[in-house]
């Protein structure tokens, strides 16, 4: 016990590292940490804070498919600059590099040391992948900085290729040297988590270079996409993970996100909550509060991309434009009913189960998410949630494989069946499961990807959007596909046929909401939403598209703007002043 306390104290000292502009500090004796496997394990446990896993449920707060209470500052003209930019922090890197440099005590067997070095290099790759996604070129620092390392402290940025080659080298080392193939708690990095991460990184970088042609890196794209496919296939063929289907097509998908213990068949790595340790998350508070969080809801354009249960596009029916909410959600991909409030969705309130339609005190569009929230109002205030938050899951690996192969033009019918077909089968879709598509969905193409003519690529992107929604992938996907313009899409909601008429959203016989310009005589229990152009002389942000009817719209009076510069964040101005060699990203 005493030696463990000493080790934890020393780790704390090491974690208090330095940014690139700070003077490094000396540290205490290394022996208690690097001279035993228990010391190495305790040290590497300090890296897991990089995941910020308990907040993954809200990682899509800035994405094209969510309307929220305010326009993100990053894409609101005049609201974001180098003066307010963040993220140029390097203390986590020092902690990792210190471990890598000093994990060489001969008292510990080589295989054991390499296992923990693999974990450390996994996290260094995680750190740098995040930095490259945010800033593009960044300085590669492969050692803990010493007080004499002035040239490294104030160096220029290295090229994207140099940094990403180093990231992939670190991940390769992790894949080859982490000894654990599986870990029952799903809370620790394993060999197959490393392969899953490699598929994620290689796919991102390959497609980023493909669509950002200004980088002139097109020649490296096939190799990266092939690496993504090979790494994903390694997980598919060897890891033993599979899609969870144990609760049927109506419940299996959502159970992955509401279970307190990670659903071990599918979840590869998770942030685990523990009531006894008061280690909880705030998913219910975030997704059900009218005052806390972003009050985020899906837009109708995205909801329209959910297929019908027979596998055909919902928008093939010309009546979709004026379909009422109660009708448009019927006969669709079963993930829809496990992602938003609709139909016979119910919640517990003080132990009583009651119908729970979308509540317009929480939602601006009517499409109110439930993917991460628990169905008991007890969890709705403060951080009380006990459900684990997945960081890596097998479904993503399937999609990484499918997309890499589709982008390479080598996806076969067998590949389709094993990936997109399997995901859709779990979602209750009956058609198009065993053969890749041959016809372009013109709605998906025109609304989202007008430059894509390959129906296979289009459908893989549709599937990725639906399967991985609210898991923190969407903004990165938009950036790598060079479709930043999607961030300016209209925030539209459900169709409202007329003013003043209360609507029953879930067909339980109880009227739920009405929209008005002049407040009519109220019906008890109905939520009334004003959609007049002015409220108290000020512009109203929630309107009907055609004035007295049409889709709800929200906050479209505040323009969102995407420019080429938005594919990278600006380096904080204070860091540019400290080290002018960094140079600012173009346009900022």
Q: CB atoms < 10 A from the CB of 284, how many? A: 25
Label residue 458 exposed, middle or buried (CB < 10 Å: 0-12, 13-18, 19+). buried
Place 145 in a pLDDT band, splitting at 50, 70 and 90.
confident
Q: What number is the average pLDDT over the span 516-535?
A: 97
Q: Could you tell me which residues come within 8 angstroms of residue 402 by beta carbon, excluding any fewer than 6 positions away?
A: 411, 415, 416, 419, 420, 460, 463
Examine the fold and report which residue of 369, 387, 405 is the final residue of a domain before the chain moves on.
387
Residue 348 lies in a domain: yes
Place 153 in a pLDDT band, splitting at 50, 70 and 90.
confident
Residue 376 has pLDDT above 50, yes or no: yes
Q: What number is the average pLDDT over the span 151-157?
A: 91
**Domain count of the chain?**
2
pLDDT of residue 140: 97
Q: What number is the average pLDDT over the span 310-332?
A: 98
**Residue pLDDT, tens place only, 468-477:** 999 999 999 9
Residue 27 has pLDDT above 80, yes or no: no
Residue 252 lies in a domain: no
Residue 308 lies in a domain: yes
* C-alpha distances in Å from residue 487, one per residue of 254, 367, 404, 562: 26, 18, 24, 7
CA angle 218, 168, 566 (to 5 degrees): 55
Residue 372 lies in a domain: yes
**Residue pLDDT, tens place only, 569-586:** 999 999 999 999 999 999
Residue 179 lies in a domain: no
Examine the fold and report which residue of 330, 353, 387 is the final residue of a domain before the chain moves on.
387
Start-to-end CA distance of the chain, whole Å, equals 52
Q: Please give the torsion angle defined by the CA atoms of residues 254, 205, 187 and 89, in that order, rounded to the nearest 10 degrees.
A: -120
Q: Lowest-pLDDT range, 20-34, 167-181, 488-502, 504-518? A: 20-34
Residue 540 lies in a domain: yes
**Residue pLDDT, tens place only, 213-263:** 999 999 999 999 999 999 999 999 999 999 999 999 999 999 999 999 999
Residue 524 has pLDDT above 90, yes or no: yes
Do 144 and 577 touch, CB atoms closer than 8 A? no
Residue 535 lies in a domain: yes
Distance separating alpha carbons of residues 228 and 198, to the nearest angstrom: 7
pLDDT of residue 19: 52
pLDDT of residue 6: 40
Distance separating alpha carbons of residues 467 and 192, to the nearest angstrom: 21
pLDDT of residue 11: 45
Structural domain that includes position 531: 513-556
- pTM: predicted TM-score of the whole model, two decimal places: 0.95
Residue 210 has pLDDT above 80, yes or no: yes
Structure tokens at 112: 């054991």
Examine the fold and report which residue of 343, 365, 387 is the final residue of a domain before the chain moves on.
387
Matching residue, tokens 């009517």: 366
Q: What number is the average pLDDT over the span 132-144?
A: 97
Residue 354 lies in a domain: yes
Q: Could you tell me which residues come within 8 angstroms of residue 174 by beta carbon, excluding any fewer than 6 positions away?
A: 118, 119, 121, 122, 125, 189, 191, 194, 197
Q: What number is the average pLDDT over the span 266-293?
A: 94
Q: Which residues of 100-116 are buried (b: 16+ CB within 10 A; e: fewer)?
A: beebeeeebeeeebbbb
């Amino acid at each position: 016990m005493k030696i463990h306390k000493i080790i934890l104290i020393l780790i704390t000292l090491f974690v208090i590292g330095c940014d690139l502009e700070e003077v490094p500090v000396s540290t205490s004796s290394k022996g208690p940490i690097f001279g035993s496997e228990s010391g190495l394990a305790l040290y590497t446990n300090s890296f897991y804070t990089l995941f910020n896993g308990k907040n993954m449920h809200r990682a899509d707060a800035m994405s094209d498919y969510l309307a929220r209470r305010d326009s993100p500052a990053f894409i609101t003209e005049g609201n974001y600059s180098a003066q307010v930019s963040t993220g140029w922090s390097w203390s986590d890197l020092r902690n990792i590099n210190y471990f890598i440099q000093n994990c060489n005590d001969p008292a510990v067997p080589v295989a054991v040391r390499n296992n923990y070095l693999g974990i450390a290099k996994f996290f260094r790759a995680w750190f740098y992948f995040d930095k490259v996604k945010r800033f593009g070129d960044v300085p590669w620092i492969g050692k803990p900085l010493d007080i004499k390392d002035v040239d490294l402290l104030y160096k220029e940025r290295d090229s994207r290729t140099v940094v990403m080659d180093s990231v992939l080298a670190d991940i390769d080392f992790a894949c080859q040297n982490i000894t654990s193939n599986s870990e029952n708690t799903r809370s620790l990095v394993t060999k197959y988590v490393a392969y899953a991460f490699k598929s994620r990184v290689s796919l991102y970088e390959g497609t980023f270079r493909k669509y950002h042609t200004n980088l002139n890196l097109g020649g490296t794209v096939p190799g990266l996409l092939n690496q993504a496919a090979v790494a994903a296939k390694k997980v598919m063929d060897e890891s033993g993970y599979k899609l969870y289907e144990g609760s049927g097509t109506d419940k299996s998908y959502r159970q992955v996100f509401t279970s307190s213990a990670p659903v071990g068949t599918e979840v590869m790595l998770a942030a685990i909550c523990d009531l006894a340790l008061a280690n909880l998350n705030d998913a219910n508070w975030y997704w059900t509060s009218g005052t806390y969080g972003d009050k985020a809801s899906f837009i109708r354009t995205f909801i329209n991309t959910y297929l019908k249960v027979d596998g055909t596009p919902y928008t093939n029916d010309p009546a979709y434009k004026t379909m009422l909410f109660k009708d448009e959600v019927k006969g669709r991909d079963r993930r829809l009913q496990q992602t938003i409030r609709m139909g016979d969705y119910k919640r517990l309130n003080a132990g009583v189960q009651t119908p729970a339609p979308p509540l317009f005190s929480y939602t601006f569009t009517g499409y109110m998410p439930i993917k991460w929230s628990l169905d008991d109002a007890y969890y709705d205030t403060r951080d009380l949630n006990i459900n684990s938050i997945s960081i890596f899951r097998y479904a993503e690996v399937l999609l990484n494989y499918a997309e890499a192969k589709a982008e390479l033009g080598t996806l076969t019918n067998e590949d389709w069946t094993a990936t997109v077909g399997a995901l859709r089968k779990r979602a209750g879709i009956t058609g198009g499961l065993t053969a890749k598509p041959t016809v372009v969905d013109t709605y998906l193409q025109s609304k989202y990807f007008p430059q894509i003519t390959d129906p296979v690529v289009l459908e893989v992107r549709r599937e990725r959007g639906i399967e991985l929604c609210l898991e923190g992938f969407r903004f990165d996907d938009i950036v790598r596909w060079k479709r930043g313009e999607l961030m300016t899409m209209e925030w539209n909601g459900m169709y409202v046929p007329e003013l003043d008429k209360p609507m029953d959203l879930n067909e339980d016989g109880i009227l739920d909401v009405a929209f008005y310009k002049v407040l009519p005589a109220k019906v008890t229990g109905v939520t009334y939403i004003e959609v007049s152009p002015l409220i108290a002389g000020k512009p109203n942000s929630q309107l009907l598209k055609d004035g007295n009817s049409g889709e709800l719209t929200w906050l479209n009076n505040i323009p969102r703007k995407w420019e080429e510069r938005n594919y990278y964040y600006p380096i904080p101005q204070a860091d540019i002043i400290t080290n002018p060699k960094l140079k600012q990203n173009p346009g900022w």
